[in-house]
């Protein structure tokens, strides 16, 4: 058969996100993939430069609907480090609890989506029902299901009452049972095995070469987790393990995520049971000293990095957000080659893409009314010339 | 069937087209409800398929650019007409008055027509998703059709007749074919699931890959008719399996008077089609979609193989027992 271009997205039932794939297929085999990412550039970074730190945090939460706590924690953590603040342990623990609950609901959501793209809607419905338990817990603690608003520079905004702690602990056994069920299902459910095994293979070398992060890297046997390698919050105190897998395919990524569900549950339980007493915040100064910092955070999808440059005022001079999805994109294009068209959605879904969070730059030619792409060299050249212009006058 | 009025009533009202229409929508509701309850959802109210049908009939019909309108309008009607005709030959409340030698083959052919129509629609739509879906639906047709035909023809082989009604009578005298040919029964159910393009065989309309496959460009009444075709196919298919494998509407002993036989037969028909529905819905809920190449492997290696084994067993049984 001749090569055919199947254009998937930005409006497509498989993708709930604005992205366009031009998939070149030969019959049912994928020959090559062309990506168009930036449909939803929201200018978050620019907006962050115009607000003081207190007002940047809610903005950071809105970078992503799933990992909202990740973004605000990564930002707050960076600013606190610049200000050299010592955060009280109780605040660290509360942040950790929310972070791990967020990871659990993100992974449960992902499992549902992965099941849905292979047409296995029963699992999709089940995991999303169980996810409600996690969301209820978060809602009880913070008052919100999605944007928790727990962080502030210097600690957290809300304390956990003993009643909230007990209620959360009571929810855990049921959740534990469900997760056990999913652990069983992923290794025994035939319909998942035949669709996940050997699909979207990524070797350890490739995973390292293309700079993958998070569950995508760990499924290829790369033992890399910011929580372990560069501990922050309460992760150094809590006993837990990094989950890795050697399969390197969608099956491996599923196993890693389900294993992480298990670990997250352990962390949440430990933190709830050993919640230290004390205050939940310290008063932060208004301004941050001049400096640069790279704040790393293990979001549910992988390592999230916030680069922050401050200039001694109460605003950031520059904040740059590198989401895990951006780091994982290249690996998708590699995984897809020679795979079946039917496997495209599941391979794309396997990195748990979050595209609106990833959109950082859009090239727009106003006269020609066209958007385009730019090579790395051109980008560097343009940045240089811009800096020089800034220096010149 | 000497009386033309009762013949018309049979064809048009009961157990003909009017009943078929209502029962098809009812089964569609039941299928959705069962699936919903198994997935811990609430599910639709009972009139939902009917409401959907009426709503879609009233919606705007959009012609994709460059599409032959006449064929595009006619194709869904052809599919619906084919499955409704097939229904007339299947015993519902007693044996069909239209039965003749060879109606089993006619029914099987008529039931294949909707798939061909889907391919045609996919090809006509001038849309890449529809075209891929259409190609997938015929590819799938070639995979499941052989075992499905073999599975449904082996009862005919044993009963020594090509008429569904006579197969039912044979079962009344001897035994249900589900006990005599369990492999064939399972293959028939799998084939039916594939014919109706339900999970795990919803490959041609895989919404997460190719939007809706051949259905993508269908709108308004075309979509309504095509949806109804699938619902009607469900009734025809489950009634066919019920008649060929589960003894149809006849009791193992004679029921008198005549009107009571009709009532009993009708309830047997309902019970047996609902049983088939329950099995097919459970399969739908318990599985995900497989890939076309995996279906090719499974279909030709195992399902076709098993159906040929079933034919062999039946030939041996015929030689040793039935015609000994």
3-state SS track over chain B: CCCHHHHHHHHHCCCCHHHHHHHHHHHHHHHHHHHHHHCCCCCCCCCHHHHHHHHHHHCCCCCCCCCCHHHHHHHHHHHHHHHHHHHHCCCCCCCCCCCCCCHHHHHHHHHHHHHHHHHHHHHHCCCHHHHHHHHHHHHHHHHHHHHHHHHHHHHHHHHCCCCHHHHHHHHHHCCCHHHHCHHHHHHHHHHHHHHCCCCCCCHHHCHHHHCCHHHCCCCHHHHHHHHHHHHHHHHHHHHHHHHHHCCCCCCCCCCCCHHHHHHHHHHHHHHHHHHHHHHHHHHHHHCCCCCHHHHHHHHHHHHHHHHHHHHHHHHHHHHHHHCC
Q: What is the mean pLDDT of residues B275-298?
A: 89
Q: What is the pLDDT at residue B228?
A: 92
Q: How far is the C-alpha of A53 from the C-alpha of B259, rounded, in Å?
A: 84
pLDDT tens column, B78-94 = 999 999 999 988 888 87
The residue ranges of DSSP E strands in chain A, in sequence order, are 3-8, 20-26, 29-36, 151-152, 155-156, 291-299, 302-310, 316-322, 363-365, 370-372
| Residues forming beta bridges with residue A32, ordered by sequence position | A24
Probe site for chain A from B35, B134, B209 (most A CB atoms < 10 A): B209
Residue with tokens 């960076």: A78
Cβ-based contacts of A129 with chain B (< 8 Å): 40
Query: Do the chains contact at B291 and A120, CB–CB below 8 Å?
Result: no
Whether residue A345 has pLDDT greater than 60: yes
Probe site for chain B from A8, A119, A186 (most B CB atoms < 10 A): A119
Confidence band of A388 (pLDDT split at 50, 70, 90): low
Q: What is the pLDDT at residue B51?
A: 93
Domain assignment of residue B286, given as a range? 63-322
Q: How far is the C-alpha of B237 from the C-alpha of B27, rounded, in Å?
A: 12
Q: Which of A2, A3, A7, A10 is nearest to A359 (CA)?
A: A10
Whether residue B48 has pLDDT greater than 80: yes
Q: How far is the C-alpha of B167 from the C-alpha of B246, rounded, in Å?
A: 11
Whether residue A244 has pLDDT greater than 50: yes
Tokens found for residue B11:
């064809």
Residue A7 lies in a domain: no
Cβ-based contacts of A120 with chain B (< 8 Å): 199, 287-289
B252 — phi, psi (to 5°)?
-65, -15
Cβ-based contacts of A192 with chain B (< 8 Å): 288
Q: How far is the C-alpha of B279 from the C-alpha of B189, rounded, in Å?
A: 8
Q: What is the pLDDT at residue B27?
A: 92
Comparing alpha-carbon positions, the chain A residue that sits nearest to B128 is: A6
What is the CATH number for A100? 1.10.645.10
Residue A190 lies in a domain: yes
Q: Which of A121, A148, A125, A126 is nearest to A136 (CA)?
A: A148
Query: Do the chains contact at A117 and B208, CB–CB below 8 Å?
Result: yes
Q: What is the mean pLDDT of residues A47-64?
A: 88
Cβ-based contacts of B200 with chain A (< 8 Å): 119, 191
**Count of domains in chain B?**
1
Q: Which of B278, B202, B286 is nearest to B242 (CA)?
A: B278
Per the model's pLDDT, the better-predicted residue between A329 and B253 turns out to be: A329
Query: Do the chains contact at A119 and B129, CB–CB below 8 Å?
Result: no
Cβ-based contacts of B39 with chain A (< 8 Å): 121-122, 125-126
Q: What is the pLDDT at residue A14?
A: 63
Q: What is the pLDDT at residue A359?
A: 72
For chain B, give the mean pLDDT: 87
Q: Is A281 helix (H, G, I), strand (E, B) or coil?
A: strand
Min CA distance, B116 vs chain A (Å)?
20
Confidence band of B7 (pLDDT split at 50, 70, 90): confident
Per this entry, what is the length of chain B? 324
Residue B12 lies in a domain: no
Q: How far is the C-alpha of A136 from the C-alpha of A138, rounded, in Å?
A: 5
Min CA distance, A36 vs chain B (Å)?
18
| Residues forming beta bridges with residue A20, ordered by sequence position | A36
Residue A340 DSSP one-character state: B
Q: How far is the C-alpha of A197 from the C-alpha of A189, rounded, in Å?
A: 12
Whether residue A38 has pLDDT greater than 80: no
Min CA distance, B30 vs chain A (Å)?
17
Q: How far is the C-alpha of A61 from the C-alpha of A72, rounded, in Å?
A: 5
| CB proximity B139 to A under 8 Å | no
Whether residue B217 has pLDDT greater than 60: yes
Q: What is the pLDDT at residue B188?
A: 92
Q: How many CB pairs under 8 A join A and B?
A: 75
Residue A208 lies in a domain: yes
Query: Do the chains contact at B285 and A115, CB–CB below 8 Å?
Result: no
| Structural element, H or E, at residue A251 | helix A250-273
Lowest mean pLDDT among A54-58, A73-77, A164-168, A190-194: A190-194
Min CA distance, B40 vs chain A (Å)?
7
Per this entry, what is the length of chain A? 393
Whether residue A271 has pLDDT greater than 80: yes
Query: Do the chains contact at A344 and B207, CB–CB below 8 Å?
Result: no
Whether residue B317 has pLDDT greater than 90: no
Whether residue A13 has pLDDT greater than 70: no
Residue with tokens 């297929």: A25
DSSP strand pairing (A151-152 vs A370-372): unpaired
What percent of chain B stands above pLDDT 70? 98
Residue B30 lies in a domain: no
Q: Which of A15, A78, A30 is nearest to A322 (CA)?
A: A78
- Please name the residues in contact with B95: beta carbons below 8 A apart, sequence gap of 6 or more: B165, B168, B169, B250
Q: What is the mean pLDDT of residues B186-207?
A: 87
Per the model's pLDDT, the better-predicted residue between B84 and A390 turns out to be: B84
Whether residue B26 has pLDDT greater than 90: yes
ipTM here: 0.84
Whether residue A205 has pLDDT greater than 80: yes
Tokens found for residue B78:
């052809």
Q: What is the pLDDT at residue B2?
A: 61
Residue B209 lies in a domain: yes
Residue B86 lies in a domain: yes
Lowest mean pLDDT among A60-69, A127-136, A375-384, B182-191: A375-384
pLDDT tens column, A294-328 = 999 998 988 989 999 988 888 888 888 888 888 88
Residue A374 lies in a domain: no
Q: How far is the C-alpha of B43 from the C-alpha of A248, rounded, in Å?
A: 38
Residue B50 lies in a domain: no
**Cβ A157 vs Cβ A233: under 8 Å:** no
| CB proximity B291 to A under 8 Å | yes
- Please name the residues in contact with B279: beta carbons below 8 A apart, sequence gap of 6 or more: B189
Q: What is the pLDDT at residue B55?
A: 93
Query: Do the chains contact at A125 and B132, CB–CB below 8 Å?
Result: no
Query: Do the chains contact at B207 and A13, CB–CB below 8 Å?
Result: yes
Min CA distance, B299 vs chain A (Å)?
15
**Count of domains in chain A?**
1
Whether residue B95 has pLDDT greater than 80: no
Whether residue A365 has pLDDT greater than 80: no
Cβ-based contacts of A112 with chain B (< 8 Å): none
Residue A24 lies in a domain: no
Query: Do the chains contact at A342 and B292, CB–CB below 8 Å?
Result: yes
Residue B26 lies in a domain: no
Asked if residue B15 has a cis previous peptide bond (ω within 30° of 0), the answer is yes
For A293-333, the three-class secondary structure string (H helix, E strand, C coil) is EEEEEEECCEEEEEEEEECCCCEEEEEEEECHHHHHHHHHH
For chain A, give the mean pLDDT: 85
Q: What is the pLDDT at residue B230?
A: 92
Query: Do the chains contact at B128 and A122, CB–CB below 8 Å?
Result: no
Closest CB to A120: pick one of B41, B288, B293.
B288
Residue A389 lies in a domain: no
Q: How far is the C-alpha of B157 from the C-alpha of A345, rounded, in Å?
A: 45
Q: How far is the C-alpha of B76 from the C-alpha of B122, rounded, in Å?
A: 12
A5 — phi, psi (to 5°)?
-95, 120
Q: What is the pLDDT at residue A386?
A: 60
How would you classify residue A302: left for phi > 0, otherwise alpha for psi between -120 and 50, otherwise beta? left
| CB proximity B292 to A under 8 Å | yes
Q: Is A354 helix (H, G, I), strand (E, B) or coil?
A: coil
Asked if residue B257 has a cis previous peptide bond (ω within 30° of 0), the answer is yes
| Residues forming beta bridges with residue A115, ordered by sequence position | none
Query: 8-47 in B: which are within 8 Å (CB) of A?
Result: 38-41
Confidence band of B277 (pLDDT split at 50, 70, 90): very high
Q: How far is the C-alpha of A141 from the C-alpha of A136, rounded, in Å?
A: 9
Burial of A42 (0-12, 13-18, 19+ CB in 10 A): middle
Q: Residue A286: how many CB atoms within 10 A of its CB?
A: 11
Burial of B103 (0-12, 13-18, 19+ CB in 10 A): buried
Domain assignment of residue A316, given as a range? 44-357
pLDDT tens column, A72-106 = 999 999 999 888 888 899 999 999 999 999 999 99
Whether residue A390 has pLDDT greater than 60: no
| Residues forming beta bridges with residue A281, ordered by sequence position | A155
Confidence band of B68 (pLDDT split at 50, 70, 90): confident
Q: What is the pLDDT at residue A389?
A: 56
Closest CB to A119: pick one of B202, B210, B292.
B202
Whether residue A393 has pLDDT greater than 50: no
Closest CB to A340: pick one of B128, B199, B293.
B293
What percent of chain A stands above pLDDT 70? 95
Whether residue B269 has pLDDT greater than 70: yes
How would you classify residue A41: left for phi > 0, otherwise alpha for psi between -120 and 50, otherwise beta? beta
Residue B281 lies in a domain: yes
Q: Cα separations (Å) of B33 from B24, B36, B44, B45, B89?
A: 14, 5, 6, 8, 29
What is the Cα gyration radius of chain B? Answer: 20
Residue B16 lies in a domain: no
Q: How far is the C-alpha of A104 from the C-alpha of A98, rounded, in Å?
A: 10
């Amino acid at each position: 058969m001749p090569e055919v271009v199947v254009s998937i997205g930005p409006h497509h039932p498989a993708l709930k996100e604005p992205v366009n794939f031009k998939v070149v297929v030969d019959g049912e085999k994928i020959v090559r993939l062309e990506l168009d990412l930036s449909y939803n550039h929201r200018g978050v970074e620019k907006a962050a430069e115009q607000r003081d730190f207190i007002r940047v945090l809610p903005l950071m939460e809105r970078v992503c609907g799933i990992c909202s706590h990740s973004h605000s924690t990564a930002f707050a953590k960076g600013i606190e480090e610049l200000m050299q603040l010592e955060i009280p342990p109780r605040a660290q623990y509360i942040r950790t609890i929310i972070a791990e609950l967020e990871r659990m609901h993100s992974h449960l959501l992902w499992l549902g989506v992965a099941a849905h793209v292979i047409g296995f809607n029963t699992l999709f419905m089940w995991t999303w029902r169980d996810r409600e338990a996690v969301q209820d817990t978060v809602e009880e603690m913070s008052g919100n299901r999605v944007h928790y608003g727990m962080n502030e520079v210097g600690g957290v905004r809300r304390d956990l009452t003993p009643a909230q702690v007990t209620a959360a602990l009571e929810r855990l056994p049921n959740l534990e049972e469900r997760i056990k069920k999913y652990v069983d299902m992923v290794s025994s459910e035939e319909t998942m095995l035949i669709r996940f095994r050997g699909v979207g293979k990524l070797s350890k070398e490739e995973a390292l070469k293309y700079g993958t992060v998070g569950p995508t890297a760990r499924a290829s046997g790369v033992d890399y987790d910011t929580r372990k390698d560069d501990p922050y919050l309460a992760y150094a105190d809590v006993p837990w393990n990094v989950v890795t897998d050697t399969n390197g395919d969608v099956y491996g990524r599923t196993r890693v995520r389900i294993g992480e569900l298990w670990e997250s549950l352990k962390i949440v339980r430990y933190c709830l049971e050993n919640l230290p007493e004390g205050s939940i915040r310290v008063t932060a100064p208004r301004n941050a000293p001049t400096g640069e910092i790279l704040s790393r955070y293990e979001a549910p999808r992988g390592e999230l990095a916030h680069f922050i440059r401050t200039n001694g005022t109460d605003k950031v001079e520059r904040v740059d957000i590198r989401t895990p999805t951006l780091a994982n994109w290249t690996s998708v294009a590699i995984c897809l080659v020679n795979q079946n068209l039917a496997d495209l959605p599941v391979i794309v879904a396997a990195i748990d893409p979050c595209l609106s969070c990833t959109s950082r730059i859009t090239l727009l030619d106003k006269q020609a009314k066209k958007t385009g792409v730019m090579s790395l060299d051109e980008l560097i050249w343009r940045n240089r010339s811009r800096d020089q212009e800034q220096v010149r006058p | 069937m000497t009386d033309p009025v009762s013949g018309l009533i049979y064809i048009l009202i009961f157990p003909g087209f009017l009943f078929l229409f209502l029962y098809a929508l009812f089964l569609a509701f039941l299928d959705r409800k069962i699936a919903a309850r198994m997935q811990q959802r609430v599910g639709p109210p009972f009139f939902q398929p009917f409401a959907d049908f009426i709503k879609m009939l009233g919606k705007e019909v959009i012609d994709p650019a460059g599409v032959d309108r006449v064929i595009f309008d006619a194709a869904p009607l052809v599919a619906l007409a084919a499955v409704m005709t097939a229904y007339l030959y299947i015993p519902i409340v007693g044996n069909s008055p239209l039965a003749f030698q060879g109606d089993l083959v006619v029914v099987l052919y008529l039931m294949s027509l909707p798939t061909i129509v889907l391919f045609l629609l996919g090809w006509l739509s001038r849309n890449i998703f529809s075209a891929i879906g259409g190609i997938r639906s015929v590819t799938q047709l070639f995979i499941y059709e052989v075992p499905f035909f073999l599975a449904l023809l082996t009862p005919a082989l044993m009963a020594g007749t090509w008429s569904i009604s006579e197969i039912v009578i044979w079962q009344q005298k001897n035994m249900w074919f589900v006990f005599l040919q369990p492999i064939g029964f399972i293959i028939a159910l799998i084939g039916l699931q594939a014919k109706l393009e339900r999970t795990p065989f919803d490959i041609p309309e895989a919404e997460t890959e190719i939007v809706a496959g051949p259905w993508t460009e269908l709108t308004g009444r075309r979509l309504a008719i095509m949806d109804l075709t699938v619902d009607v196919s469900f009734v025809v298919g489950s009634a066919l399996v019920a008649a060929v494998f589960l003894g149809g509407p006849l009791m193992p002993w004679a029921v008198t008077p005549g009107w009571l036989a009709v009532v009993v037969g009708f309830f047997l028909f309902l019970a047996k089609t609902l049983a088939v529905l329950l099995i097919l819905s459970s399969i739908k809920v318990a599985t995900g979609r497989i890939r076309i190449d995996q279906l090719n492997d499974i279909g030709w290696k195992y399902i076709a193989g098993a159906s040929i084994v079933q034919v062999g067993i039946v030939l041996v049984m015929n030689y040793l027992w039935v015609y000994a």
